[in-house]
Amino acid sequence: MPELAIFIGLQASGKSTYYRLHLSNTHVHVSKDRFRNNRRPARRQAELITEALAAGRSVVVDNTNATVGLRRELIDLSRSHGATVTGYYFASKLADCLTRNATRTGKDRVPDVGLFSVAKALVRPSPDEGFDRLFHVTLVARGTFAIEPWNDTTSPDGSDRRAAASHEPSPDSSEGTHEGRLRRPDEAV
């Protein structure tokens, strides 16, 4: 059964890097960034998702997907093709994303106002939206991500609301952290 993976998070939070290192061998990549000159990018995105799912291929939607409404459209489209839906919420701090974005060049660099706009509109996902699985993904270091099953006590920036200090995996611990080749959340470490 094909899967629709919905990436959710600010620009420069690691979404495209995660895709390249983690899902590029198994999922078709669909991103509105690839059709900047298209007058109707949402329609083109839906066409590409439909083509892939109809052919039995899994798809990653690599956009900010900041609102429940945007995600609802994707979940409904996925369900109409009998695909499972997995959400990946890229928890990040706006300041960190602004810093990473500043190192980008050309069309890859997003105007800062774009990040502020998405940060204001971003609604944390919820299992109630219809996800079969939902994960928190945190960029820990370049090429290293902490992947955890959804937990409502984790704040939007990835810190644990129950703890006074932010949650950072211990360098000696491999729990939830995958270095080098990134693994799917259900793969053994």
Q: Mean pLDDT, to the nearest integer, of 152-158?
A: 62
pLDDT band at 176 (very low <50, low <70, confident <90, very high): very low
pLDDT digit string, tens, across residues 66-80: 999 999 999 999 999
pLDDT at 79: 97
pLDDT digit string, tens, across residues 81-117: 999 999 999 999 999 999 999 999 888 899 899 999 9
pTM, 2 dp = 0.80
pLDDT at 59: 98
Average confidence score pLDDT of the chain: 82
Q: Which of 124, 133, 51, 40 is nearest to 89 (CA)?
A: 124
Looking from the CA of 171 toward its CB, the CA atoms found within 13 Å total: 1
